[in-house]
Amino acid sequence: MLTCLLNNQQICSLDLKDKYDEYIMEKLEYVKEASQNRQLVCEECGDIVILRAGNDKVPHFAHKNKNESCYWEKYGKKETEEHKKGKSIIYQYLKEKYIDAEISVNYRHSNIRRSDVFAKFKSGTQLAVEFLRIDMKITDWKEKHDFYKSNNINNIWLLSTKEYNKQDIKNVSIDFFEKFLAYKSDDDIIKFLNTKQQSIILIKKMEYKGRAYYKELFTKEYKIQDILIDMHGTINCDFKIQYDKAYQNFINNVLKREKTKKKAKSDKKFKVKTFKISEEQDKENREYVKKLIEQEKAKRNKK
């Protein structure tokens, strides 16, 4: 876990490092001593926790003795190093960009609902940042997304690139993109966070219907420091400008191709590699999508 209590105050293990990922010795020593004196307490169950602050892993707290009934024993342990790293990057980033805001990790809305990173701005605006594996269940996404919507919490979802190297990301299949996009994005852009490079990768589709249907993905990568994630969860950078340029090129090429009257083989070229989604997951996604479509139809019929 990344947070615990010290003298009834929440402390966060990510605060022990600066934005360059170096330990702040004064803070480290202070919490280390508290840990040795058994003063650190689990927020969920009240048991004693200890600090784990090495050089390889993200600093965190762990129960001194196992407590099977605690949330962190059940769910927190499943949290991967990649996930902690992602949260750490987002947390440091928001703290640096928004000095006035209250930033926290694993922000607890209720017993079962947490945000990976959560920001409360002075204006009252709230932003949740989620960092997730690409195979997150669509049903889980939908449920959380609805919660944010009904509570007026802005949110942005970043996907982990861990399982895929950069080459693969660039070759993400259109099929996957479309399936994913329809249910996990509000702005038609898929966003990845690469924890190794500390970069954000944005992907958006370009399409054109002419004699044939042409589609291609536009991808651009930014150092996280070079962009601004605003209070609404929008990423401010030159992506739109670059996309528009690329789209113009794409259209020009398509029109050229159409002119030659050759039958287009548009899809073949771009289907390079697909993300692996388990059969079970795939089935679940399909059924969920089917249900959504039926609901949509029912709504329309009522009108």
Binding residues for Zn ion, per CB under 5 A? 42, 44-45, 70, 72
**Cβ closest to Zn ion, residue 64 vs residue 145:** 64
Q: How far is the CB of 228 from Zn ion (least distance, A)?
A: 36
Q: How far is the CB of 50 from Zn ion (least distance, A)?
A: 12
8 A C-beta contact, residue 59 and residue 13: yes
Spatial distance between the Cα atoms of 206 and 203, rounded to a whole number of angstroms: 10
Element (H, E) at 70: none
Q: How far is the CB of 81 from Zn ion (least distance, A)?
A: 20
**Cβ closest to Zn ion, residue 1 vs residue 190:** 1
Dig out the tokens for 262 from the structure.
Answer: 């050759």
Q: How far is the CB of 43 from Zn ion (least distance, A)?
A: 7
- For the purposes of burial, counting CB atoms within 10 Å of the CB of 72, is it exposed (0-12), middle (13-18) or buried (19 or more)? buried
**Cβ closest to Zn ion, residue 52 vs residue 211:** 52
**Cβ closest to Zn ion, residue 111 vs residue 150:** 111
**Cβ closest to Zn ion, residue 50 vs residue 206:** 50
8 A C-beta contact, residue 183 and residue 277: no
Report DSSP state, residue 23.
Answer: B
Q: How far is the CB of 202 from Zn ion (least distance, A)?
A: 38
Beta bridge partners of 52: 60
8 A C-beta contact, residue 119 and residue 103: yes
**Cβ closest to Zn ion, residue 49 vs residue 174:** 49
Dig out the tokens for 228 from the structure.
Answer: 């601004």
Task: Name, in order, each residue with C-beta under 8 angstroms of 5's C-beta and a sequence gap of 6 or more.
Answer: 11, 40, 41, 42, 43
Q: How far is the CB of 44 from Zn ion (least distance, A)?
A: 4
Helix (H, G, I), strand (E, B) or coil at 208: strand
Helix (H, G, I), strand (E, B) or coil at 235: strand
Separation of CA 130 from chain center: 4
Length of the chain in terms of residues written = 303
8 A C-beta contact, residue 238 and residue 139: no
**Cβ closest to Zn ion, residue 44 vs residue 116:** 44
- For the purposes of burial, counting CB atoms within 10 Å of the CB of 195, is it exposed (0-12), middle (13-18) or buried (19 or more)? buried
Q: How far is the CB of 67 from Zn ion (least distance, A)?
A: 5
Task: Name, in order, each residue with C-beta under 8 angstroms of 134's C-beta and a sequence gap of 6 or more.
Answer: 159, 160, 163, 164, 180, 275
Q: How far is the CB of 5 from Zn ion (least distance, A)?
A: 11
**Cβ closest to Zn ion, residue 73 vs residue 216:** 73
